[in-house]
Structure 1
């Protein structure tokens, strides 16, 4: 499960942003085999670290009981060189597998992320404080129907969908 924004943007998570009502903790169990591979950023709440980021991806590789995560985006446009962030991720709630702690810069920074909802081809990832949220897909783009369903779910979770940014999709 490549969760584009988390590692990429921990610095943004640690900076101030307008708070929203904190989402409910994840309750649905996630199959860990679905956590590996490439995920593409479809939408996000604005944050300073991802300003002008396009074509965001997050690559997750399972290494024992943790994950090696490489997140990337192109600042300014898809033809710009990729900027990468590396992290280690660990599931911290084995009951649901939906709460993940990511460590950056050799463990100097860490942040908890929650998989708030997931379907066969998309997931919604957020921080427990509700300030940050990303819609991720296993394909560079979602069908119009899947995207509409996912955005409806984002709204149901209490996020202001009028604030969502929709970066250009990554190229395969």
Structure 2
């Protein structure tokens, strides 16, 4: 077979693989829950944001399907990037799932937009701290496409009134609070 024919076959196979990945990716993405995600308005002090966060609620996604007792740990790496360790457990006392990633601050002025990667340098995603408590006791995190949302806190449970206030803020940001899945913690 001629070299030009082999190159055409290889190019066609690569295009089909990329096209198949795009179709697969679009077919498995969660629905948009907020078509008009606001840009973060409050700056984030990274040193205060680092540490352990407990997930209180989320828009269900395939990466966390069936997991509860979810936590996210953020720490600074030696190279200035952020180390991320996310954990969740199959409820109530099943297998622990862990994924490690890294992030960089994408907007130096506000510090509220990060670029995260859990699957190597070829896939990165946006991580926006849409709002947070004055003492960094809670945070609402999303991304610009409006497909994902997480409600995080420094404690696994909050007083009912405090959690209700955060859910009202979720609604003010344009999200349907009833689309959130509450995360169980032991």
Structure number having the greater helix percentage: 2
Classify the TM-score, shorter chain: 0.7 to 0.9
- Tell me the residue number matched to 1:153: 169
Counterpart CA distance in 1 for 2:129 and 2:26 is 16
The RMSD of aligned alpha carbons is: 1.8
Q: Does 1:144 align with 2:160?
A: yes
Taking structure 1 as reference, are residues 59 and 80 closer, same or farther at Cα in structure 2, changes over 3 Å only?
A: same
Give the gaps of 5 or more residues in structure 2: 1-24
In structure 2, the residue matched to 1:66 is 81
1:118–1:96 Cα change, 3 Å: same
Once the two structures are TM-superposed, the CA of residue 31 in structure 1 deviates from its matched residue by 1.1
Q: Would the aligned equivalents of 2:57 and 2:150 in 1 still touch at CA under 8 Å?
A: yes
Asked if 1 retains the 8 angstrom alpha-carbon contact of 2:41 and 2:131, the reply is no
- Per the normalisation by structure 2, the TM-score is 0.79
1:100-128, CA deviations, whole angstroms, 9 ceiling, x for partnerless residues? 00012232321011000000310000011
Query: Given the alignment of the two structures, is residue 28 of structure 1 paired with residue 26 of structure 2, yes or no?
Result: no
Structure 1 counterpart of 2:130, from 116, 125, 133:
116
Cα deviation, residue 142, structure 1: 1.3
**Structure of greater Rg:** 2
Are the aligned partners of 1:13 and 1:132 in contact in 2 as well (CA < 8 Å)?
no
Q: Which runs of 4+ in 1 moved over 6 A?
A: none
